[in-house]
Structure 1
Amino acid sequence: MSADRHALAIDIGGTFTDIVLYDSRTGRFAAHKELTTPADPAWGVITGIRRLLSRESVEAAAVGRVVHATTLFTNALIERRGARTGLITTEGFRDTLEIGHERKYELYDLHLPLPQPLVRRARRLEARERLAPDGSVEVALEPDSVLQAADALVSQGVESAAICFLHAYANPSHEQEAASLIAARHPQLMLSLSSEVAPQIREFERSSTTVANAYIKPLAERYLNRLSEDLTALRIKSPLFMMLSNGGLTHVDEAKRVPVQLLESGPAAGALSAAFFGARSGERDLLAFDLGGTTAKLALVQDGEPHVVHRFEAGRERRFTTGSGLPLTISTVELIEIGAGGGSIAAHDALGLLKVGPRSAGSMPGPACYGRGGAHPTVTDANLLLGYLDPETFAGGTMRLDTGAAEATVGALAGEAGLSAARAAEGIHAVVNETMSAAARVHVAEQGHDARDFALLVTGGGGPLHGCELARRLGISRVICPPGAGVASALGLLLAPARVDRVATISRPLAGMDWAALEASFSAMEQDARTVIAATLGATAALSIRRGADLRFAGQGYEVVTDLPAGPYGPDSEDMIRAAFERAYELVFSRRPGVATIEMINIRVSVTGSAAEGALDPEVPETSLGEPRTGARNARFGSEEMDTPVLDRSRLPAGVEVPGPAVIEEAMSTLLVPPGARAVVEASGNIVIHLPLAVTRQGQHQHEVV
């Protein structure tokens, strides 16, 4: 058997670890869900791989590619479970992390909670040095001050340190010299340099990003080393690739060097998967909705591609409020995360109102119906009582749900409000749907779009269960459920190309630009990116290079990220770059100021690479023989219980239509088709649900099924 025939994709979530085994010759894929093991995540991964390989009768030696995404590092950042971290910065700047922008994200809140720095003040120390904005040396680096700071940090038990000197983006020499001095004296101390992690202007963002990288770096090092060793022990000899937040892959050594780039790796994979399966149904403008056990994610896909941005906030004090989190200058697929999932806990607040999330039961102990000691009612418990889930086949039959435990916990919540358990379950389902739709509505509007212009593609274990109701609340008439929806994010890992994003600050006016120097700067970044791609895929990878820049009109304090024409650049490039910026500016603001001078602040390159073979092309699932209808059960829709047919998705042939209400089950997820809707099985393998009463852009209703 060929050693490169199979690929493994691994996605660790807050509740389940999803594992997909893909056969590159046949296009067939198989999946497995394993409960995440938070105390030792690698254990859950290896256990799941063993079970999947055994079930599919595949030898470990036949695996030629392993791709991985994880929320471990994001959770460590949010929950403040990272390493003991220190910061060495320019004399006089130790409080940059606390001063921030000196502005409030809620102007009139007198008790505003602010995100606490990842490094306490006692571990933020200074070194004597100073660079000017152009990188020239004003005060030479004093080696003794660097070593004294490093000695003090090590004496406090610091495991990882960030070095962030003023204007190091313009000249990295002082940071590099300091790192060399520290490494010679304290080789065990992990170091993160701002000139390597975030080489661009704005001191607060650069410091915050570098400190975040240092904070999770030891965790990333230990986890990735352990997982690599465990895979080798399993006799999987293929390299381990890591998914980045920008929707690309990198090799494990690069991931260990800059783990902050991995924070949104799982959701990025989900967006790639949505774009792929949406295209199979002829939809290039999508809302990609993924609902897992802990969180829900929503990303916009336009013209077949997820939108990538270059700024991200982690650990927001207020989930939907910009400015309330830790700013990170990383490239990431733009999305919103909502504290709603299968494990989200329902409770009454101080006013007696029902709230669902953001607290989650996670995987340990999990929802009450998991039978692992969970004592709080959750969304999964409510869905079970509403008749949407089969307790015998949940998560592909890897666990049996305890209906009695769900009844007890939801019943206790119902008793507090004087309701029946069924009414309380209905309320939990409705509240979590409204929480998600409200967040989605705001996110889409903030991007300048109307949700009704998109189709909704649902993935994750809970996405197909809640998707139609979410679409109804958003006024969307078309919902797409791909095959293997429950593990679509893991499947999306196999779609990702290798990708490297690089940025550098130049801060020069466009008029009078030194075009030779500009071209040299772009070329140097592209060469650096090529080196990483070659280490990931080999020297024969096919490359695609995109250039961009952060441009602004003179006098403005913000920039517009602009796609640039391909190089090389010369004096005749000025008009093309100006025109590209003016188009991008008008797209955002609809008009432009009467200012002629344009400044180029940062330059960017994005290099993607794909291997010559092995691209994901999953086959359309074959239809099994037999009657699609496997039974029926009472399911509650609103306040009405209905006798609802239960169908086996694997037995539904292309072209068949299923009127709602219906429950369509497959191994890793359950699709709920509400009354009045109709589901159509496409030749692509997708199921498309057409919903009635979709609100048109004019605010009128269409009373027929679309």
Structure 2
Amino acid sequence: MNAACALTLRKRQPALRGLLLSSYNVRLRGIRAGGRILAKWAIGIDIGGTFTDLVAIEYVSGALHSLKILTTHTDPATAVVDGVGRLMRENGIAARDVLNVTHATTLFTNALIERRGARTGMLTTQGFRDIIEMGNERKYDLYDLRLDRIAPLAPRTLRGEVAGRLDAQGREIEALDVDQALRVTGGLVADGVVSLAVCLLHAYKSDVHEQRLKAAIEQAYPGLALTLSSEIAPVIREYERMSTTLANAYIKPMAQGYLDTLAQRLRELGLRSEILMMLSNGGLSHLEDAKAHPISLLESGPAAGVVSAVHHSLREGKGDLLAFDMGGTTAKLCLIEQGRPSVTFGFEAARQQRFAEGSGMPISITTVDLIEIGAGGGSIAHQDELGLLKVGPQSAGSEPGPVCYGRGGEQPAVTDANLILGYLNGGYFAGGTLPIDIDAARASYAGLGAALGRHPDDVAWGVHDIVAENMAAAARVHVAERGKDPRNFVLVATGGGGPLHAYYLARKIGVKTIVCPPDAGVASAFGLLVSSARTDRSRTVSFKPATDSVAQLEDMYAALEREVAANLETLSGSFGPCVLRRRADGRFIGQGFNLTVDLPDGPYAGDPASGGPGAASWPARLEQTFRKEYEHKFGRTPPNVPVELVNLRVTGLAAPRRPFESSRRAAAGAAAPVAVRAVYFKESGGFVQTPVYRRETLPTGFQAQGPLLVEEPSTTLVVGPLGHVEVAPSGSLVVSIEDLQA
């Protein structure tokens, strides 16, 4: 174990706060060689459904350069490599000076949704191959007689059974028939399977059978991609564990091929630096770990946006946030309290119905807790069968894109509406790098307006308002489910569309303050470069504090901590020291579902004479910790019912050794409007002449009353008539809203 990790085992909680702060309150001292300061850069890349965002930062000077280009869906690496090359050429970045490249992508999420993964098979314990189809036998819509369950990623013909059995304690009660398993595997391979998920009964308790299968299959079929449930999701609940394992197997060949290709093409640019990947949990890991466990990348892009929101808002002294990130395809929102994003240990991918719990495939990974809707710049506006105006979830993406892109799009999209309303400048879209045809956008809305019997400007406003209302409805549910009031939070707007829609979203949910950080349009790419490394590990147990040995619990936690520390050790050159944190999923005995709680620092043993808690007091402390959190969440606890800890969880965090603090750019020119144009505001009854500012011209302390627009290459901040904007010392634009009546 890294000595720095060992030193922090007993200092977890105070250090966690330091990890959140360290990425911006420590300026890196110049790295010197031969008396001169060497430029040291890092590059962040975020592939979205419409745009690929790139950010380069230089640690010594605090310089930051960004670029936004259209995603190339047929070969996503093309946009990445073209963008990196252009970023390096335009800013004089030498390949030898790039310390690392950090990457996030939604490619694998889209592969699950669109069923573009590999032909995948599954091996299960004899008699259990239909678990993945039976699920938990719940209907996500009780009254829908034609309800369709999500189809398994491996059809029944590609699922085989293996003789051999472990009991619930992981003890062998029937020997594993390896020869029979190889015959079944051979049949699957002959049927075209290139990736295989192995999910045996009770493998979360003992991996002995799965590991024996792995050794035999790798020797017999060396080209077959393997995924073991005991390595991907070693936790209780068979259906969720199978679903996660199968999803990882489904995207694994695609992920390995893409990441290998990307690494090779970056090397062709001369980059020999370390490649890091953002995980869904909001932390970074090394490339090889991501290739083995691509399922952990599903929410990597949105997670990076949340990290960026926290980074900038803590600079403003604001810790309770609603991080609102809107791109070209989707909009995401995350609740952040005291600078810590909400985290969950499972979510559903590829839902049949977006807000219907149980309609997707359950994925048991640690992920930032997000609510997501299909509303982005490419979301298509249309008339439904009842004659009503609707927006999304279908999206034009980047190919062909909104009508105004002039790339073959024919259906009106949200970006087209924002152009018509005056919120976007057709001559400065994506910094002027993407030609925009506003006449084509107007023509598309004229057609939709004719179908609806409304003026095209009214339809365009209706689209903008529907997007805000859809996001507001999702935000209300997301925040209320956590027992919070959105009026007590600050809205942080990022992404190309976040600043465009934040004003009316804030008014609908009663938020008083909006923060638009610097380079908000590429916030996810920037978040990659200020993230900590993170590793999560879990293990299913059945520990009852009232009766079981706390020494055994400590041994299990210590084993998990060693595993986490060993994984972070591979990144110790760039990150450290690491901080370890313990959690557990607990329940009252007899309950069917668990509550995740933070546990006290260990070790769970000690000498009372040392002044710390003795071993005898730990069971009571652990049980009381769970009871207190349960009562806080549900209002009461059942009387005289023992507590059971079901899953143990350990998180390891390691902050960057080279923290980045961006330099405040000096205002270029006078803080005067660069233009005045007609912009639509509902409160004003229609179009009004509105001043337009360029962000780079606004000095610290600049203030102005709305309505106004603030443009920058990657996005535009809309400030309505009831808003007042100020440039904070950090460079963030802070909007205060006077009237909360929507």
Q: Is the alpha carbon distance of 1:540 and 1:435 closer, same or farther for their aligned partners in structure 2, counting shifts above 3 Å?
A: closer
Q: Which residue of 2 is the match for residue 698 of structure 1?
A: none
Give runs of aligned pairs for residues 507-518 of structure 1, distance below 5 A: 507-518=542-553
Q: Is the alpha carbon distance of 1:111 and 1:540 closer, same or farther for their aligned partners in structure 2, counting shifts above 3 Å?
A: closer
Q: Secondary structure at the match of 2:393?
A: strand
Is the aligned partner of 1:610 residue 2:648?
A: no
How much has 1:595 moved relative to structure 2? 2.8
How much has 1:114 moved relative to structure 2? 1.5
Letter in 1 for 2:322: L
Q: Is the 8 A contact 1:126 1:145 kept in 2?
A: no
Is the aligned partner of 1:397 residue 2:411?
A: no
How much has 1:324 moved relative to structure 2? 1.2
User: Once structures 1 and 2 are overlaid, which stretch shifts more, 111-120 or 380-389?
Assistant: 111-120
Q: Which residue of 1 is the match for residue 477 of structure 2?
A: 442
Q: Is the 8 A contact 1:537 1:611 kept in 2?
A: no
Identity %: 48
How much has 1:397 moved relative to structure 2? 1.6
Is the aligned partner of 1:189 residue 2:233?
A: no
Q: Which residue of 2 is the match for residue 473 of structure 1?
A: 508
Give runs of aligned pairs for residues 309-324 of structure 1, distance below 5 A: 309-324=344-359
Give runs of aligned pairs for residues 104-503 of structure 1, distance below 5 A: 104-503=139-538
- For residues 31 and 367 of structure 1, the distance between their equivalents in structure 2, rounded to whole angstroms, comes to 23
Give runs of aligned pairs for residues 14-53 of structure 1, distance below 5 A: 14-53=49-88
Q: Which residue of 2 is the match for residue 690 of structure 1?
A: 736
How much has 1:4 moved relative to structure 2? 6.8
Q: Is the alpha carbon distance of 1:306 and 1:540 closer, same or farther for their aligned partners in structure 2, counting shifts above 3 Å?
A: closer
- For residues 455 and 394 of structure 1, the distance between their equivalents in structure 2, rounded to whole angstroms, comes to 27
How much has 1:386 moved relative to structure 2? 0.7
- For residues 108 and 651 of structure 1, the distance between their equivalents in structure 2, rounded to whole angstroms, comes to 58
Q: Which residue of 2 is the match for residue 531 of structure 1?
A: 566
Q: Which residue of 2 is the match for residue 595 of structure 1?
A: 640
Higher RCO, 1 or 2 (CA under 8 Å, sep at least 6)?
Answer: 2
Q: Is the alpha carbon distance of 1:2 and 1:372 closer, same or farther for their aligned partners in structure 2, counting shifts above 3 Å?
A: farther
Q: Which residue of 2 is the match for residue 622 of structure 1?
A: 666
TM-score w.r.t. the length of structure 2 is 0.92
- For residues 470 and 179 of structure 2, the distance between their equivalents in structure 1, rounded to whole angstroms, comes to 55
Q: Is the 8 A contact 2:503 2:514 kept in 1?
A: yes
- For residues 378 and 52 of structure 2, the distance between their equivalents in structure 1, rounded to whole angstroms, comes to 14
- For residues 392 and 660 of structure 2, the distance between their equivalents in structure 1, rounded to whole angstroms, comes to 36
Letter in 1 for 2:514: V
- For residues 271 and 94 of structure 1, the distance between their equivalents in structure 2, rounded to whole angstroms, comes to 38
Gaps of 5+ in 2: 1-35, 606-614
How much has 1:600 moved relative to structure 2? 1.3
Letter in 2 for 1:600: L
Letter in 2 for 1:190: A
Is the aligned partner of 1:646 residue 2:692?
A: yes
Letter in 2 for 1:130: R
How much has 1:508 moved relative to structure 2? 2.6
- For residues 324 and 14 of structure 1, the distance between their equivalents in structure 2, rounded to whole angstroms, comes to 23
- For residues 438 and 610 of structure 1, the distance between their equivalents in structure 2, rounded to whole angstroms, comes to 36
- For residues 41 and 539 of structure 1, the distance between their equivalents in structure 2, rounded to whole angstroms, comes to 27
- For residues 124 and 549 of structure 2, the distance between their equivalents in structure 1, rounded to whole angstroms, comes to 32
- For residues 115 and 663 of structure 2, the distance between their equivalents in structure 1, rounded to whole angstroms, comes to 42
Q: Secondary structure at the match of 1:422?
A: helix
Q: Is the 8 A contact 1:553 1:595 kept in 2?
A: no
Q: 2:98 aligns with which of 63, 67, 80?
A: 63
Q: Secondary structure at the match of 1:359?
A: strand
Q: Is the 8 A contact 2:722 2:739 kept in 1?
A: no
Gaps of 5+ in 1: 696-700, 702-706
Q: Is the 8 A contact 1:169 1:505 kept in 2?
A: yes
Letter in 1 for 2:384: D
Letter in 2 for 1:137: E
- For residues 184 and 560 of structure 2, the distance between their equivalents in structure 1, rounded to whole angstroms, comes to 32
Q: Secondary structure at the match of 2:674?
A: strand
Report how many residues are paired: 695
Q: Secondary structure at the match of 2:571?
A: helix
Q: Is the 8 A contact 2:330 2:373 kept in 1?
A: yes
Q: Which residue of 2 is the match for residue 631 of structure 1?
A: 675
- For residues 740 and 318 of structure 2, the distance between their equivalents in structure 1, rounded to whole angstroms, comes to 18
Q: Which residue of 2 is the match for residue 579 of structure 1?
A: 624
How much has 1:3 moved relative to structure 2? 6.9
- For residues 693 and 99 of structure 2, the distance between their equivalents in structure 1, rounded to whole angstroms, comes to 36
How much has 1:666 moved relative to structure 2? 0.9
- For residues 40 and 144 of structure 2, the distance between their equivalents in structure 1, rounded to whole angstroms, comes to 58
How much has 1:611 moved relative to structure 2? 3.8
- For residues 543 and 621 of structure 2, the distance between their equivalents in structure 1, rounded to whole angstroms, comes to 17
How much has 1:470 moved relative to structure 2? 0.2
Q: Is the 8 A contact 2:490 2:513 kept in 1?
A: yes
How much has 1:226 moved relative to structure 2? 0.5
Q: Secondary structure at the match of 2:380?
A: strand
Q: Is the 8 A contact 2:424 2:716 kept in 1?
A: yes
- For residues 588 and 113 of structure 1, the distance between their equivalents in structure 2, rounded to whole angstroms, comes to 33
How much has 1:129 moved relative to structure 2? 0.9
Letter in 2 for 1:300: L
How much has 1:628 moved relative to structure 2? 2.7
- For residues 219 and 535 of structure 1, the distance between their equivalents in structure 2, rounded to whole angstroms, comes to 25
Is the aligned partner of 1:670 residue 2:716?
A: yes
Q: Secondary structure at the match of 1:629?
A: coil
Q: Secondary structure at the match of 2:552?
A: helix
Q: Is the 8 A contact 2:251 2:295 kept in 1?
A: yes
How much has 1:64 moved relative to structure 2? 0.7
- For residues 250 and 58 of structure 1, the distance between their equivalents in structure 2, rounded to whole angstroms, comes to 24
Q: Is the 8 A contact 1:3 1:61 kept in 2?
A: no
Q: Is the alpha carbon distance of 1:688 and 1:134 closer, same or farther for their aligned partners in structure 2, counting shifts above 3 Å?
A: same
Is the aligned partner of 1:562 residue 2:590?
A: no
User: Once structures 1 and 2 are overlaid, which stretch shifts more, 562-571 or 358-367?
Assistant: 562-571
Q: Is the alpha carbon distance of 1:524 and 1:694 closer, same or farther for their aligned partners in structure 2, counting shifts above 3 Å?
A: same
- For residues 561 and 394 of structure 1, the distance between their equivalents in structure 2, rounded to whole angstroms, comes to 45
TM-superposition CA deviations, 1:315-334 (whole Å, max 9, x none): 11111121111101100000
Q: Secondary structure at the match of 2:570?
A: helix
TM-score w.r.t. the length of structure 1 is 0.97
Letter in 2 for 1:166: L
- For residues 355 and 293 of structure 2, the distance between their equivalents in structure 1, rounded to whole angstroms, comes to 27
Q: Is the alpha carbon distance of 1:275 and 1:627 closer, same or farther for their aligned partners in structure 2, counting shifts above 3 Å?
A: closer
Q: Secondary structure at the match of 1:433?
A: helix
- For residues 688 and 677 of structure 1, the distance between their equivalents in structure 2, rounded to whole angstroms, comes to 10
Q: Is the 8 A contact 2:39 2:60 kept in 1?
A: no
